[in-house]
Amino acid sequence: MSTSQAAAAGVAVVTGASRGVGRGVAEALGAAGMTVFVTGRSTTDGASRIGDTPLHGTIHDAAAAVTAAGGQGIAVHCDHGDDAQVKALFERIEREQGRLDILVNNALCIDDSLIDPGPFWTKPLAQADMFGVGLRSNYVAAWYAAPLLLQAGRALVAFTSSYGAGCYMHGPAYGAQKAGCDKMAADMAVDFEGTGVAAVSLWLGVQRTERTEIAARLRGDAYGDFMARSESPQFVGRVIHALWRDPDRAALTVRTQIVAELAQRYGVRDEDGREPPTWRNILGAPCAFHPARVS
């Protein structure tokens, strides 16, 4: 597919896409023919680690995977904790593409201690960095992206969130970050009302990523059960693409959505033909936010 054909199929940004969820989502959008700007800090394979175990993947690898899938992958080194770099990212998109169809807010600063047992005060204060890259960074990216999304006329801001927004999962910093994503998406949806731009926060199931596979090996216990019914990041990306194409997507912004349930709506299955389950009966359901304005 040529660059012009990929642009015609839509333009997307996936933040924090060097590996894991972001990379898989970007690859799925590429498979749908989109031009995908892949952002992150990783440019050297194995530079990031969990303990003594290296994590593989770079923005360049991810962009190449997008292109190999059928789209046009563009790697952009961007520290989402640096507003100037985020501004430069969207200025580049404006120059090169003139619009933006999908923004996937996925970047998150994860400390290695995230899944360690124990109360929050026994873990590093660095867990609070999720409020910077993970919550504030989502706001900044959407702020700079908004003019380009409005130019597209039919656009989507998707936040990758978690059941941890509603139940106890990985401690208070993680839970508050995810709950903040849900409320931020709902309020942005109110501001975007009538513009053709939708904003939705998505609860992902357990993801089949290198990070979660390492966690399963280290922890065993319940992780093994969850991993047996996990989702691939590409599955999440296909659901996001289907949501963007849905003419009634704005109606889904009243509440946070569960990816597995949206997949049933759109007839999306995972790579192996499975239908990943919803965990609402075990981990809880998203709340609906009231769209009334008080200002």
Residues tagged active-site = 174
DSSP reduced 3-state for 50: strand
DSSP summary character for residue 84: H
Q: How many Å apart are CA 205 and CA 128, to the nearest integer?
A: 23
Question: Pairing mode, if any, of strands 48-50 and 197-204?
Answer: unpaired
Burial of 115 (0-12, 13-18, 19+ CB in 10 A): buried
171 φψ region: left (φ > 0), alpha (ψ -120 to 50), beta (else):
left
Provide DSSP, 209-220: SHHHHHHHHHH-
- Tokens for 39? 């952002």
For 51-57, the CB contacts below 8 A with 24+ separation are: 51/112, 51/218, 53/214, 55/19, 55/210, 55/211, 55/214, 56/19, 56/210, 57/18, 57/19, 57/20, 57/23, 57/210
From CA 248, how far away is CA 266, in angstroms rounded?
12
